Structure 1
Amino acid sequence: MNQMALDKAAVLAEALPYIRQFSGKTVVIKYGGAAMAAADLKAAVMQDIALMKYVGMHPVVVHGGGPEVSSMARQMGIEPRFVDGLRVTDAETMAIAQMVLVGKTNREIVTHLCAQGVKAVGLSGQDAGLIRAVPHRHRSARTGEEVDLGFVGDVAAVDTAVLETLTTAGYVPVIAPIGLGPEGQPYNINADTVAGAIAAALKAEKLVLLTDVEGVRADRDDPGSLLSRVTVQEIREWMADGRLEGGMIPKLQCCITALEAGVNRVHIIDGRVPHSLLLEIFTHEGVGTMVVK
């Protein structure tokens, strides 16, 4: 047997215990960042999700798409505005977000998964009352004053019935982060927040967040301070003393939500690394940062 064959056999031998462990288990994947933009990374993620399905896992995908929403808004003469990393979403911007996230991005992901032989179904949080939303009340990190962000929402409740029906029937749900407000008004919700809430409601085995960083750093300015493991208590302490900022805050908040609701493991991994999903799930070392209670 040549060296390449030996290497492949070793990889398979390492993966088999994890395949057995996670067969039949639900894994929620937050898909965003560079992994959505670069063609080679997009293809790798679709292959990873397909393989997870083929070996008996139940992947559920929640996707972002903020850069595409911003690009479309500019094409329509609207300059995107953000407060503390959150998009100011007036009625016109909300319509654009729905058009892009539900009508374009969601459709593309479903199409790519189907091309891999996976039965994927696209949803938004509005479908079957999946995500009930309430308006997000935001206070400026700079001034402490309340800021009106328009139709930006928080997750009030998740009805998992449609997800359970789909996964039981062998489908992979692909979810756009648009929620349904109390009077039928759609709300734009942070995709990390949605992923955490869905993982919590499903009592998923794992929640995996694909990001544009290696993971969580002890010192955000030091690339060499990457942590392989961090606890909820440490995260809360960092939030309290201001060590966290920007997009990492909702990511870690969603990790806490998921873990406290019974999700066993949460991982923040680098979506810029090809096949990082498989490396995280099917190898002992994994990649990125594991968040634990």
Structure 2
Amino acid sequence: METSMETIIKKAEILIEALPYIQKLAGKTVVIKYGGNAMINDELKNSVMEDITLLKYIGVNPVVVHGGGPEINKALDKFNIKSQFVNGLRVTDSSTMEVAQMVLVGKTNKEIVSLLNKMGGNAIGLCGIDGNLIECEQYKTTVDGNEVDLGYVGKITNINSKLIELIAKDEYIPVVAPIGVGKDGRSYNINADTVAGEIAAALQAEKLMLLTDIEGVKMNKDSNDIITALTTHEAHDLIERKVIDGGMIPKVLGCIEALEKGVGRTHIIDGRISHCLLLEIFTNRGIGTMIMKEKVPYHNSEKL
């Protein structure tokens, strides 16, 4: 009986630890980039959807932006269309674009909406074409000084945030597929991390959260210790010293850009951990790496 009572008291302590964060985030917007293994593993899928639904019910306004690379790859294989990448971006000809849009908007987006609705979350699926939500132009990249045509890969020129705001500040959860629209009315594939960052900036979100398949930013290449909080200055220094390298660089730079455009805090967290969103948002230490302009705690017990 004593052990049972101790367990109950610990649960109460967890709720009390979350209280100042709930107070701080009430009525605020949190943009969540949903991707990686959390989109593949059914148990993790449900865990993330439960977290997002809970956020909505306690007064936070979650906005979900999702990727879908593995599903696109599967669909392209079925149609015998070869996948090709340049500088980490998918080369997207007209056939690839058609498949990507079909998968992202018609399949992945609706699966996420369905899961959230199943949890009681009242989700609504959107893509950048809806209401010209994500306006873009063709993205240009270079390799060895030569310009490479990536096809229908988009560079965001404008976010028409009014539609998302109307939905998010009502009883609904917007779920956004990373498809943009050009002035010519054509669809463009856009990196989901980039879309999440730009939407967070347009909404002046309190938080931008990137779900990944890594624990966070490590103290050095040989260490398993995660840096729980970084300033933008410290992040730039780690990039220069090549502590942050490879695929982590664009994620960190995306977080820094979002902060410079008015987002309150940004987070890179491990989506492979059950209930990763709640653990990062509502505990004093968190589980990933938080990047912020200055290390200003929400309250005295928060460990930065």
When normalised by structure 2's length, the TM-score is: 0.91
**Aligned counterpart, 2:298:** none
Letter aligned with residue 158 of structure 2: A
**Aligned counterpart, 1:103:** 106
- Residues of 1 paired with 2:129 and 2:208: CA distance? 22
**Aligned counterpart, 1:253:** 253
Alignment of 1:40-79 (within 5 A): 40-79=43-82
Q: Unpaired runs of 5+ in structure 2?
A: 294-304
**Aligned counterpart, 1:262:** 262
Per-residue CA deviation, residues 234-266 of structure 1 (Å, 9 max, x unaligned), is 433455566554432331222122101111100
1:82 aligned to 74, 82, 85, which one?
A: 85
1:189 matches 2:195: no
Letter aligned with residue 128 of structure 2: G
CA contact (8 A) 2:181 2:188 kept: yes
Secondary structure in structure 2 of the residue aligned to 1:20: helix
C-alpha distance 240-146 of structure 1, shift in aligned 2 (>3 A)? farther
Secondary structure in structure 2 of the residue aligned to 1:226: coil
- Residues of 2 paired with 1:39 and 1:57: CA distance? 25
1:130 aligned to 133, 139, 161, which one?
A: 133
Secondary structure in structure 2 of the residue aligned to 1:200: helix
**Aligned counterpart, 1:156:** 157
Per-residue CA deviation, residues 189-216 of structure 1 (Å, 9 max, x unaligned), is 0000000000000000000110000011
Letter aligned with residue 6 of structure 1: I
Over the residues paired in the alignment, what is the CA RMSD in angstroms?
Answer: 1.5
CA contact (8 A) 2:217 2:244 kept: no
- Residues of 2 paired with 1:243 and 1:214: CA distance? 15
Alignment of 1:176-215 (within 5 A): 176-215=177-216
CA drift at 1:83: 1.1
C-alpha distance 244-182 of structure 1, shift in aligned 2 (>3 A)? farther
Secondary structure in structure 1 of the residue aligned to 2:224: helix
- Residues of 1 paired with 2:116 and 2:159: CA distance? 24
CA contact (8 A) 1:85 1:246 kept: no
Secondary structure in structure 2 of the residue aligned to 1:287: coil
**Aligned counterpart, 2:277:** 277
Percent identity between the two aligned chains: 53
Secondary structure in structure 1 of the residue aligned to 2:145: coil
CA drift at 1:85: 1.2
- Residues of 2 paired with 1:261 and 1:204: CA distance? 10
CA drift at 1:222: 2.5
Secondary structure in structure 2 of the residue aligned to 1:213: coil
- Work out the number of aligned pairs and report it: 290
Secondary structure in structure 1 of the residue aligned to 2:19: helix
CA drift at 1:7: 1.4
CA contact (8 A) 2:138 2:155 kept: yes
Letter aligned with residue 249 of structure 1: I
Letter aligned with residue 114 of structure 1: N
- Residues of 1 paired with 2:85 and 2:219: CA distance? 27
Letter aligned with residue 172 of structure 1: I
CA drift at 1:54: 0.6
